[in-house]
Amino acid sequence: MDLSALKPASRTDDASSFEFVVVDGANAATLECMNDTRSRRLKGTYNTSNGYYAYAVVSAGKIIGDIWCASPRSIRSDPVHPDLGWLGIACGDNDAYMFDMYVSPDSRGKVVTSLLLGGALAHLKEQGFQRVYGFYEKANLPALWTHRLFGYKELPNRKITRLLLYMNSEVVA
């Protein structure tokens, strides 16, 4: 997605009970207890130790959604994330890769996903990023429509095989 095309987000009354936060190595330990899901806590520890950071939506003191981000500004390896190699994407200095979006099941289909993705994209734009890449499985129709609503451009499909498991996938920019 070209961030110059990003339209300013409008905050609705539905979003007034949510807080948008950036999770990085500096505050990850403090925010860890706010995540109810053990797997998300472990993923947070792993990801922040690798230099990745997340955007999260908090409600009533709990993280109800997050999306992880990697960029050449925070990661000094090439590629900045293992997915990028098999996706055939090279992140430039002003590019970012967002991955592993999660919204708690009881918060899906509400304003949370738009607040999370919109807030993340707006923050990246404010930080001077020009382009953002993302990845989702082809069969994940809610992800497809969410990315389309935000103006992502779809790149060609990639056939991806992991441990003899076949996945149809879409790449978006």
H helix runs in 3-98, sequence order: 28-32, 38-49, 82-87
CB-based contact 72:98 (threshold 8 Å): no
Confidence class of residue 14 from pLDDT cuts 50, 70 and 90? low
Confidence class of residue 161 from pLDDT cuts 50, 70 and 90? low
Looking at the domain assignment, is residue 23 inside a domain? yes
CB-facing half-sphere around the CA of 16: CA atoms within 13 A: 3
CATH for 110: 3.40.630
> How many residues make up the chain in this entry?
173
Q: Are strands 165-172 and 131-137 parallel, antiparallel or unpaired?
A: antiparallel
Lowest mean pLDDT, pick from 4-13, 57-66, 126-135: 4-13
Q: In the predicted model, is pLDDT for residue 11 greater than 90?
A: no
CB-based contact 81:70 (threshold 8 Å): yes
Looking at the domain assignment, is residue 145 inside a domain? no
Looking at the domain assignment, is residue 13 inside a domain? yes
Looking at the domain assignment, is residue 85 inside a domain? yes
Looking at the domain assignment, is residue 159 inside a domain? no
Looking at the domain assignment, is residue 152 inside a domain? no
pTM for the model stands at 0.83
- Counting the structural domains of the chain, the total is 1
Domain of 109? Answer: 3-129
Looking at the domain assignment, is residue 166 inside a domain? no
Residue 155 is encoded by which pair of tokens? 């790149």
CB-based contact 169:158 (threshold 8 Å): yes
Section 145-151 average pLDDT: 82
Share of the chain above pLDDT 70, in %: 88
Q: Which residues contact 54 (CB under 8 A, 6 or more apart)?
A: 22, 23, 24, 44, 47, 48, 66, 67, 68, 69
Looking at the domain assignment, is residue 100 inside a domain? yes
